[in-house]
Amino acid sequence: MSDISFVRREMLPPKDPPASEVGVVGWIRANLFSGWLNSVLTIASLYFIIRVLMGLLGWAVVPTWSATSLTECRSIFEELGRHGHNAGACWGVISERWNQLLFGFYPRELQWRPVLDFLLLGVALAPVLFSDKVPAKLIYFTAIYPFVMPWLLWGGTIWTPVAVALGFVIAYAIFKMLAEKTSELIAMIASVVVALVWWLFLASLFSSALAAVIPLALEPVESRQFGGFMLSITIGVVAIGLSLPIGIVLALGRQSDLLIVKTLCVGFIEFIRGVPLITLLFVASTLLNIFMPPGTNFDIIMRVFIMVTLFASAYMAEVIRGGLAALPKGQYEGADSLGLNYWQAQRLIIMPQALKISIPGIVSTFIGVFKDTTLVSVIGLFDPLNLTNAIRADADWNGLVWELYGFIALLFFVFCFGMSRYSMYLERKLQTGHR
């Protein structure tokens, strides 16, 4: 009577899941055909993708790279047996004019200068972007770069940027000297006044005198020869580079307890954010010369720089204000309890954290400004979009649309997508586990 029932003593090994639930089949069932609605959607979108891809590839994959005019493209299509208005892409226009799309009317033999400039921009940004991989000394080059960049782009004597830089050195020296003897407030006011006097009255004398003695100059290039992606990138870089410090000041002003300062900052920010960029560009093209003393006539690119910078700094101020507001109150109180004064607290405690939080916003502002540089075509600057009109004005390429727009869209996409991916990487890298 001992063994009336069978009791299993050892575990059975788990069975493999059914073949339809694992591997490729399982994945497809789970992700593409998990219900009738999903199946319909999948099939519809597959059909859509195939239609678009076939149309696009059929249009784009054509041997027209070396064609020199639209008529030549058309004859190539005739040989291929294709007819109609949009028989295929005429890539000849890109191969012939890509240089113009990138540099505008910048003299061909001087184009090494903008290229070098953007390479140097990479070097100057390296200490900021990849601080752990490059020597820290490189930050000095970053400080010099803002003065090297315009000199390389516009040419002219080297002494003008040197004189401008000297203004900063003088202001800093005076601030250091006076700050020890009197209060920081007096020192700051004095240094600002001295710097303004230097830039407005003495700097031009200084640079012309030195240029006469030691003529160190590059061949000058006129602003109206700027164009293409070079122009877009230049406007974008200048606007963001200048708007970051202005934006920090505005954000601090907006957060401060000083009523008048706060009102001024809020008024400026809300005004700029409330009007479209295009109206600001109208101001640049028609009004800015009226606002300046009679006889001043600075060129259109400089005016666009000013307005785009003001535009970007209002947005930057809001991004940084968001970062400041996101910091826990304890950080401010902690800095106060350590006995740090306002600027020390900002520099050592608040700003490093607030700027880190604002990185995604800063990058997306940059992307926005970079995209918005296409608006300068409305006031007649030759950015890539306006260059397409110039190219179409050529009888050889009259009537081309898709190839040019497609090329420009692709370049913009590569730039902007790259930047947004970089900002994600930076966010992950700077993540310290708490927010």
Residues binding another protein (CB under 8 A): 31-32, 34, 38, 41-42, 45-46, 48-49, 85-86, 182-183, 185-186, 189, 257-261, 264, 270-271, 273-279, 282-283, 286-287, 289-294, 367, 371-372, 374-375, 377-378, 385, 401-402, 405, 408-409, 412-413, 416-417, 420
With respect to another protein, which residue has the nearer C-beta, 226 or 407?
Answer: 407
Least separation in angstroms between CB 296 and another protein: 9
Q: At what angle do helices 228-255 and 92-103 cross, to 10 degrees?
A: 40
CA distances from 400 to 88, 99, 163, 391 (A): 11, 17, 47, 9
With respect to another protein, which residue has the nearer C-beta, 189 or 216?
Answer: 189
With respect to another protein, which residue has the nearer C-beta, 148 or 233?
Answer: 233
With respect to another protein, which residue has the nearer C-beta, 15 or 85?
Answer: 85
**Which tokens hold the place of 217?**
């100059």
Q: How far apart are CA 192 and CA 200, in angstroms?
A: 12
With respect to another protein, which residue has the nearer C-beta, 213 or 259?
Answer: 259
Among candidates 100, 71, 57, which has minimal Cα distance to 390?
100
List, as one string, the DSSP characters of 95-113. HHHHHHHHHTT--GGGTHH
Least separation in angstroms between CB 394 and another protein: 18
Least separation in angstroms between CB 271 and another protein: 7
> Which segments within 207-250 are labelled E, that is strand?
217-218
Least separation in angstroms between CB 238 and another protein: 18
* Non-local CB neighbours of 104 within 8 Å, separated by 6+ positions: 225, 226, 227, 228, 230, 231, 382, 387
- DSSP symbol at 401: -
Least separation in angstroms between CB 289 and another protein: 8
Least separation in angstroms between CB 323 and another protein: 17
Q: Which amino acid is at 314?
A: A
Count CA atoms closer than 13 A to 376's CA, side-chain side: 30
Phi, psi of 157 (to 5 degrees): -75, 150
Q: How far apart are CA 271 and CA 274, in angstroms?
A: 5
Q: How far apart are CA 224 and CA 100, in angstroms?
A: 14
With respect to another protein, which residue has the nearer C-beta, 162 or 379?
Answer: 379
Least separation in angstroms between CB 42 and another protein: 5
With respect to another protein, which residue has the nearer C-beta, 140 or 271?
Answer: 271
With respect to another protein, which residue has the nearer C-beta, 32 or 134?
Answer: 32
Least separation in angstroms between CB 368 and another protein: 9
User: Alpha-carbon torsion 221, 224, 228, 230, what sign?
Assistant: positive
